[in-house]
């Protein structure tokens, strides 16, 4: 008999009843060190007092009114995002995949309004992940995500990772409209796009008039040590997808855009019942205030350096289990020689949570607020997990 919850997930045999900072606690009191942060969501840790305050104060005021009316918390969060980024304007969603939907619609509408409605193609890359909506799976294009769900939304050109000739040819096509890319592929196995490549993509877009859409759903909101990952490359996108960390655990996403790229999105062209609701935006403001506070990102960078160094030693001492450390800031991956699922499971046995990714990688996406002592403890527990895998 089918489970009462649609069985689309392979769930680990764990269930948590409480979260505190970098820790998740089961009903029997077992405390797990959380290096997954709900897949890069709990950027400020579990039950962060500033977020609990923002959410409960808003819950006691008003939960939902709809986008028929002004939502002051939404305007406050949009103002903060505009102040700290390339963007002139923001639309709020409830998730990353909804942000993908709008990014695609926005790019197509841009070209439609410019009198070039044939420029519908969006260039994407192997290993990409943009969510599970119809546009999201069509954008990523992998067989794993799309098989059985056709006909797929047309207008995506899938390019091999690192094939510059294929990319240049696709960008020069008269039907090309935009390039969509994650500055650091998350689900694809923590594969950072080198700064030079991101600059190259910006140049290519400028050369052909294409829009550059960045998916910073997983790598954004301070995770790489800058507010957004593309800042390291010194470039700006035209459109950017954000979610996960921006709500710190409350479902919230956003599309940020320049005035030019957003030009086609006039009243009535897009909407969402819940997107930008007062609860989510009140929390989002508190998250933005914490991440943009002086010194916060400096600390992320310092701790990321410490973690990376410790992980390099871990890999060196378990050469049969691990191959290399990947990533940037606190979006890190351990490429495994052992089966990644076995390493994740051994982590559970040793009370440390990691997240599997493609390419036989385990992801380490701790809360950005993880402490030095917790990093040391995380390495001890990963070391124990690796020894368990070696002994098996
Ligand atoms: C890069 C990226 N884009 C989009 C998504 C989809 O976000 P959501 O699961 O909130 O729909 C994810 C989720 O993992 C992601 O990592």
pLDDT value at residue 161: 87
Q: What is the pLDDT of residues 143-192, one digit of tens each?
A: 999 999 999 999 999 999 889 999 999 999 999 999 999 999 999 999 99
Per-residue pLDDT band for 277 (boundaries 50, 70, 90) equals: very high
Nearest CA to ligand 1 atom 16: 218
pLDDT value at residue 162: 86
User: Is the separation of the CB atoms in 230 and 201 below 8 Å?
Assistant: no
The domain total for the chain is 2
Task: Tell me: do 83 and 226 sit in the same domain.
Answer: yes
* Residue 264, pLDDT above cutoff 90: yes
Integer Cα distance of 314 and 379 in angstroms: 7
pLDDT value at residue 176: 98
Task: Tell me: do 132 and 91 sit in the same domain.
Answer: yes
Integer Cα distance of 377 and 275 in angstroms: 38
Q: Please indicate whether residue 189, judged by its CB atom, sits closer than 6 Å to ligand 1.
A: no
In sequence order, which residues have a C-beta less than 8 Å from that of residue 118 and are 6 or more positions away? 111, 174, 175
Q: Please indicate whether residue 374, judged by its CB atom, sits closer than 6 Å to ligand 1.
A: no
Task: Tell me: do 369 and 274 sit in the same domain.
Answer: no
Atom index in ligand 1 nearest the CA of residue 219 equals 1
> Cα of 16 to ligand 1 centre, how many Å?
22
User: Is the separation of the CB atoms in 91 and 254 below 8 Å?
Assistant: yes
* Residue 263, pLDDT above cutoff 90: yes
pLDDT value at residue 298: 98
Task: Tell me: do 282 and 307 sit in the same domain.
Answer: no
> Cα of 129 to ligand 1 centre, how many Å?
7
Secondary structure (DSSP) of 34-90: ESSHHHHT-TT-BT-HHHHHHHHHHHHH-S---TTS--HHHHHHHHHHHHHSS-SEE
Q: Please indicate whether residue 280, judged by its CB atom, sits closer than 6 Å to ligand 1.
A: no
- Closest C-alpha among 167, 252, 262 to residue 205: 167
Strand ranges (DSSP E) for 176-294?
176-181, 184-185, 191-192, 211-215, 239-242, 253-257
Q: Please state the φ and ψ torsions of residue 13, each to the nearest 5 degrees.
A: -80, 55
310: containing domain: 16-34+296-391
pLDDT-above-70 percentage for the chain: 100
Atom index in ligand 1 nearest the CA of residue 131 equals 6
Task: Tell me: do 331 and 287 sit in the same domain.
Answer: no
Which residue, 267, 291, 315, sits at the end of a domain? 291
192-211 mean pLDDT = 97
Residues that constitute the known binding site for pyridoxal 5'-phosphate: 96-97, 129, 215-218, 273
Task: Find the Cα–Cα–Cα–Cα dihedral 152, 154, 155, 160, rounded to 10°.
Answer: 40
Q: Please indicate whether residue 238, judged by its CB atom, sits closer than 6 Å to ligand 1.
A: no
> Cα of 243 to ligand 1 centre, how many Å?
7
Integer Cα distance of 160 and 127 in angstroms: 9
Which residue, 291, 321, 354, sits at the end of a domain? 291
pLDDT value at residue 89: 99
Q: Please indicate whether residue 41, judged by its CB atom, sits closer than 6 Å to ligand 1.
A: no
Q: Please indicate whether residue 250, judged by its CB atom, sits closer than 6 Å to ligand 1.
A: no
Q: Please indicate whether residue 190, judged by its CB atom, sits closer than 6 Å to ligand 1.
A: no
- Burial zone of 67 (CB within 10 Å; 0-12 exposed, 13-18 middle, 19+ buried): middle
Residue 7 in domain:
no
Q: What is the pTM of this model?
A: 0.98
Task: Tell me: do 259 and 323 sit in the same domain.
Answer: no
Residues that constitute the known binding site for N(2)-acetyl-L-ornithine: 132, 272
Find the CATH number of the domain harbouring 20: 3.90.1150.10
Please list the residues that pair with 53 across neighbouring strands.
Answer: none
Residue 41 in domain:
no
pLDDT value at residue 94: 98
Q: Please indicate whether residue 217, judged by its CB atom, sits closer than 6 Å to ligand 1.
A: yes
Average pLDDT over the chain reads 98
């Amino acid at each position: 008999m089918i489970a009462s919850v649609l069985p689309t997930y392979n769930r680990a045999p764990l269930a948590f009843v409480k979260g505190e900072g970098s820790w998740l606690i089961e009903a029997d009191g077992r405390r797990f060190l959380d290096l997954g942060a709900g897949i890069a969501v709990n950027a400020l840790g579990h039950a962060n007092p500033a977020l609990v305050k923002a959410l409960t104060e808003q819950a006691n005021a008003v939960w939902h009114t709809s986008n028929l009316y002004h939502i002051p918390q939404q305007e406050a969060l949009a103002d903060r995002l505009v102040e700290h980024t390339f963007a002139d304007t923001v639309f709020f969603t409830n998730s990353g995949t909804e942000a993908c939907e709008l990014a695609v619609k926005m790019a197509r509408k841009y070209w439609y309004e410019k009198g070039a409605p044939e420029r519908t193609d969006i260039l994407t890359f192997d290993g990409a992940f943009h969510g599970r909506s119809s546009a999201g799976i069509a954008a990523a294009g992998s067989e794993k995500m799309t098989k059985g769900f056709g006909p797929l939304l047309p207008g995506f050109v899938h390019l091999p990772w690192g094939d510059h000739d294929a990319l240049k040819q696709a960008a020069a096509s008269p039907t090309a409209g935009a390039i969509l890319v994650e500055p650091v592929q998350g689900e694809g196995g923590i594969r950072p796009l080198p700064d030079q490549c991101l600059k190259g993509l910006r140049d290519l877009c400028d050369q052909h008039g294409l829009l550059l859409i960045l998916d910073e759903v997983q790598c954004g909101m301070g995770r790489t040590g800058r507010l957004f990952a593309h800042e390291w490359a010194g470039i700006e996108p035209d459109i950017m997808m954000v979610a996960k960390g921006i709500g710190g655990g409350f479902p919230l996403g956003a599309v940020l855009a320049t005035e030019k790229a957003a030009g086609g999105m006039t009243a009535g062209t897009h909407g969402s019942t819940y997107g930008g609701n007062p609860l989510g935006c009140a929390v989002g403001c508190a998250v933005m205030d914490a991440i943009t506070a002086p010194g916060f990102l400096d600390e992320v960078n310092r701790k990321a350096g410490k973690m990376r160094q410790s992980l390099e030693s871990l890999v060196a001492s378990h050469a049969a289990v691990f191959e290399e450390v990947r990533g940037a800031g606190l979006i890190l991956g351990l490429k495994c020689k052992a089966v990644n699922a076995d390493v994740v499971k051994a982590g559970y046995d040793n009370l440390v949570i990691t997240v599997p990714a493609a390419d036989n990688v385990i992801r380490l996406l701790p809360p950005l607020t993880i402490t030095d002592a917790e990093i040391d403890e995380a390495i001890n527990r990963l070391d124990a997990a690796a020894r368990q895998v070696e002994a098996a």
